């Protein structure tokens, strides 16, 4: 049985690691909505592109007349028409509209990828918070056991008259306070489990301590910048569309019709044979139309619309420059924060080792009655406080790395170390 457990242990560990949690986070509705919006943008782009191809229209009409009518007006007519329509030229508006739809599709794609990485960031924060809090709870339980043992010892000593009531009550108060802090942290862990479920729609429990790769100065692929760049491209294409309104439009249409007429003219019998020679009851026709349309005067409305769109493009350009500067500053700050976190972890690690050694020494002295309970409680508090601070610092370090990769537009999942 032990051999089987050892064989499957790697699978159990991999089953609850950060990479799997990131994959599960993509079940969240926020990401699924972005996926659907991207699929929708593909269809919308194809729809606009196909709308500019030649279109074939079928029309069927029936006309019936009674009462007074002209001789050449049929009493009944049935007509069917096939029309082929095609836009030959519209000043470049067609090309701008198609390119705009491609740009909108790219925007939807970038938003989808950005949401996927945001889900990875959210998963990473929950993952590291959970493991960190789990370690702190384990530490709190050790502290509770240590205080409980001392409390039992002191109760026996107090009953034998070998310990003061103030010492006993101080240890009891510290024990009760420790139990309360443990309950608080267990509540936070419970809330984290609910947040994990809310994100991934699964009861995922992190059980394997992954870490993220140490970041270097990465190439900035920030999605916020990429989205703003694509929005600028879209605004420039709108300039092309506005400019196209200043040019003429040329249309081509070809209509082929079939008709069936029943004239039934109200004429004397001797004239009906004459009318049949020029009133054709069955036939077909073909019409070719080349149309030219140009708005040559509109009080400058189209020109003003073009100038207004140019201003919109300039505003978007300024927003892009501002976003680039902001992201560069954020990345620089995060790199500095990572370096400070490493120094902090090193300092807290040394502090924890010192506090642990000091507690071991004082605990022995206290058990032997060579130091006061005040010294013991201070040493106990310092040991477990420094341990909690160390866990929190490690947690902040990993989360800061995740924030850096997200801000740089780098897939967080690819930076997870096994």
Domain boundaries of the chain, sorted by first residue = 15-53+93-245+328-413
CB 63 within 8 A of CB 74: yes
pLDDT above 70: percentage of residues in the chain:
88
Checking if the pLDDT of 75 tops 80, the result is: no
What are the respective helix, strand and coil percentages of the chain, to the nearest 5? 70, 15, 20
Q: For 349-400, what is each residue's pLDDT tens digit?
A: 999 999 999 999 999 998 888 888 899 999 999 999 999 999 999 999 999 9
**Using one digit for the tens of pLDDT, what is the confidence trace for 206-230?**
988 899 999 987 678 999 999 999 9
Report DSSP letters for 233-244, one per residue.
Answer: HHHHHHHHHHHH
Q: Give the DSSP H or E segment for 344.
A: helix 301-367
User: 80: part of which helix (H) or strand (E)?
Assistant: strand 76-89
pLDDT at 373: 87
Look at residue 263 in the predicted model and tell me its pLDDT.
60
Tokens of 104: 């909108």
Of the candidates 138, 316, 105, which has an alpha carbon nearest to the alpha carbon of residue 228? 316
Inter-residue contact 254 to 83 (CB < 8 Å): yes
Q: State the DSSP H helix or E strand holding residue 89, giving kind and residue range, or none if neither.
A: strand 76-89
Report which secondary-structure segment, H or E, holds 254: strand 249-262
Measured on CA atoms in the order 206, 209, 213, 214, is the torsion positive or negative? positive
Angle separating helix axes 373-407 and 301-367, nearest 10 degrees: 160
Alpha helices for 368-416 (secondary structure H): 373-407
Q: Comparing C-alpha atoms, which of 102, 98, 105 is closest to residue 40?
A: 105
Please give the Cα distance from 60 to 177 (Å, whole number): 88
* Cα gap 392→128, rounded to integer Å: 10
Q: Which of 387, 402, 405 is nearest to 125 (CA)?
A: 402
pLDDT in tens, 256-278: 888 777 666 655 454 455 555 55
- How much is the pLDDT for 358? 95
Beta strands in 263-330 (DSSP E): 282-293
Which architecture, in CATH terms, is 15-53+93-245+328-413?
Up-down Bundle (1.20)
**Which residue from 351, 340, 417, 398 is spatially nearest to 123, judged by alpha carbons?**
398
Confidence at residue 149, expressed as pLDDT on a 0 to 100 scale: 92
DSSP lists the bridge partners of residue 86 as: 252
**pLDDT surpasses 90 at 319:** yes
What span, in angstroms and rounded, lies between the C-alpha atoms of 25 and 124? Answer: 10
Tens-place pLDDT, residues 25-58: 999 999 999 999 999 999 999 999 999 999 889 8
DSSP for 170-230, written as a single string: HHHHHHHHHHHHHHHHHHHHHHHHHHHHHHHSS-----S--EEPPP-S-----HHHHHHHH
Q: How confident is the model at residue 5 (pLDDT cuts 50, 70, 90)?
A: very low
In this prediction, residues 309-316 reach a mean pLDDT of 96
Residue 1 pLDDT class (50, 70, 90 cuts): very low
Please compute, for residue 380, the number of CA atoms within 13 A of its CA located in the half-sphere on the CB side: 24
User: Would you state the pLDDT for residue 417?
Assistant: 92
Give 305's pLDDT tier (boundaries 50, 70, 90): very high
């Amino acid at each position: 049985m032990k051999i089987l457990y050892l064989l499957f242990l790697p699978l159990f560990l991999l089953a609850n690691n950060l990479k799997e949690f990131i994959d599960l986070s993509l079940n969240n509705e926020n990401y699924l909505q972005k996926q659907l919006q991207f699929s929708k943008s593909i269809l919308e782009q194809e729809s606009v592109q196909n709308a500019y191809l030649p279109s074939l229209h079928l029309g069927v009409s029936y006309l019936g007349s009674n009462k007074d009518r002209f001789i050449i007006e049929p009493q009944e007519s049935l007509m069917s028409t096939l029309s082929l329509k095609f836009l030959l030229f519209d000043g470049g508006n067609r090309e701008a509209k198609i390119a705009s739809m491609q740009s909108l599709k790219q925007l939807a794609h970038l938003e989808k990828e950005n949401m996927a990485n945001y889900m990875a960031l959210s998963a990473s924060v929950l993952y590291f918070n959970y493991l960190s809090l789990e370690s702190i709870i384990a530490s709190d339980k050790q502290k509770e056991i240590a205080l409980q043992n001392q409390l039992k010892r002191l109760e026996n000593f107090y009953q034998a008259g070998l310990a003061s009531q103030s010492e006993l009550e101080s240890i009891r108060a510290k024990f009760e306070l420790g139990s309360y802090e443990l309950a608080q942290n267990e509540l936070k862990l419970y809330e984290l489990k609910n947040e994990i479920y809310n994100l991934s729609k699964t009861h995922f429990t992190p059980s394997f301590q992954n870490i993220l790769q140490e970041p270097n100065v990465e190439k900035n692929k920030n999605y916020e910048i990429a989205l703003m760049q694509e929005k600028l491209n879209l605004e420039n294409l709108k300039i092309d569309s506005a400019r196209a309104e200043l040019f003429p439009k040329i249309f081509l249409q070809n209509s082929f019709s079939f008709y069936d007429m029943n004239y039934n003219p109200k004429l004397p019998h001797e004239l009906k044979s004459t009318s049949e020679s020029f009133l054709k009851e069955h036939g077909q026709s073909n019409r070719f139309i080349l149309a030219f349309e140009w708005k040559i005067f509109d009080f400058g409305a189209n020109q003003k619309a073009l100038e207004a769109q140019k201003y919109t493009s300039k505003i978007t350009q300024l927003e892009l420059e501002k976003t680039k500067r902001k992201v560069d500053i954020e990345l620089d700050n995060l790199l500095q924060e990572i370096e400070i976190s490493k120094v902090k972890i090193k300092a807290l690690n040394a502090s924890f080792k010192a506090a642990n050694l000091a507690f071991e020494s004082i605990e022995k002295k206290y058990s032997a009655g060579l130091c006061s309970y005040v010294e013991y409680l201070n040493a106990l508090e310092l040991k477990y406080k420094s341990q909690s601070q160390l866990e929190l610092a490690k947690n902040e370090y990993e989360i800061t790395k995740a924030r850096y990769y997200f801000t740089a537009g780098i897939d967080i999942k690819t930076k997870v170390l096994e």
